[in-house]
Amino acid sequence: MTIPTMIQPDTSDTYAHRTLALIAQHRLLTTTQIHRMLMPHTPPRKVHKVLGPLRTEGLIAHTVLGARSGLQAHFLTASGAQTVSNWPELRGRQATVIPSPAAASLRAAHTLTGVRAHLAFLTDAQSRGDEYEPLDWVPEVTHRLPDTGGEDRLIADAVLHYTATRPRRLQYRAFVEIDRTTMSSERLARKLITYARFHDYTPHTTGRRGTVADQASSLAWQRCYPRFPRILFILTGAPRATLTNRIADLRRMTADHDLVTRFAAHVPLGAATLDDLEALGPSGPVWTPLAGTTEPRGWTQL
């Protein structure tokens, strides 16, 4: 099979190309997730006809998640990563090579939970006629934060790029944090401080001191985003009462920490459970604002 460097319509190589791009972007995908992103209106067996040759040619490998379920999650081999290295749709992203099925299994829970959230946005966008594609969710985005007296980098679980089409075209971006209740609630809430520091961070430069306008234009985030992305926390992995308490802790951090309070005056912040997101869609009233009212709302109304 020859994998083209540019996608051509309605060919088997098109599906092969798109499948490799999806796995490269998301690092790890189940067969069902690939089917939902790639060819949701076709019989599920069709995706196996795409995955089989890619596996035979050594471009992907898989791990089995759970002996009873037999659920397969697919990842790139070194050869697969080399194949996609210069593809334009992945420009600026270095494909992750997972060294073994065992290593894939260790990272599967967090990675695949993020993909579940992504699919909720994808399904919702399709029902609304909005523009949001499988590659518009970019996992593990890193921004450096030296010279700020805290952690030296911000690592967002994902950044999503979304265009609403009605009643008028509006572009949205969001940093997404996936919380599976594997860290303390305090540690989760402290992520808000890191985001607030990034919002204010101006890299040190040599030379004469600039004007206020010069300094404002050199904020680090403005090199990447026209507007600072909103922050979305998606929680799962515990009973609803526990998740509700963790959302309350996020609101408390927003109210009690001066830096975060100032940050929240400029950037929309919200939290939702993954169950609600999948049941009602991200445009439904599932998001609790982290500042002000607790009335649930859609993510673009935060």
Secondary structure (DSSP) of 38-61: H-TTS-THHHHHHHHHHHHTTSEE
Is the pLDDT assigned to residue 4 strictly greater than 80?
no
CA–CA separation, 50 vs 176, rounded Å?
30
pLDDT the model gives residue 277: 97
State the pLDDT confidence band at 217, using cuts at 50, 70 and 90.
Answer: low
Is the pLDDT assigned to residue 184 strictly greater than 50?
yes
pLDDT, mean over the chain: 90
Nearest residue to 128 (alpha-carbon basis) of 169, 99, 95: 169
Is the pLDDT assigned to residue 10 strictly greater than 50?
no
Q: Give φ, ψ of 138 to 5 degrees.
A: -110, 110
pLDDT the model gives residue 188: 95
CA–CA separation, 162 vs 136, rounded Å?
7
Is the pLDDT assigned to residue 132 strictly greater than 90?
yes
Nearest residue to 215 (alpha-carbon basis) of 207, 145, 231: 207
Q: Give φ, ψ of 100 to 5 degrees.
A: -160, 160
Is the pLDDT assigned to residue 79 strictly greater than 60?
yes
Q: Which residue has the tokens 């002000």?
A: 292
Is the pLDDT assigned to residue 202 strictly greater than 80?
yes
Q: Identity (one letter) of the amino acid at 262?
A: R
To which H or E segment does residue 289 belong?
strand 288-289
CA–CA separation, 81 vs 95, rounded Å?
5
Is the pLDDT assigned to residue 7 strictly greater than 70?
no
The three-state secondary structure class of 207 is coil
To which H or E segment does residue 75 belong?
strand 71-76
Beta strands in 82-229 (DSSP E): 137-144, 153-164, 170-179
Residue 103's CB is within 10 A of a number of other CB atoms, namely: 13
- Token pair, residue 239, equals 């009973």
Nearest residue to 187 (alpha-carbon basis) of 241, 146, 246: 246
Q: Are 236 and 180 a contacting pair, CB within 8 Å? A: yes
Average pLDDT estimate for 54-73: 88
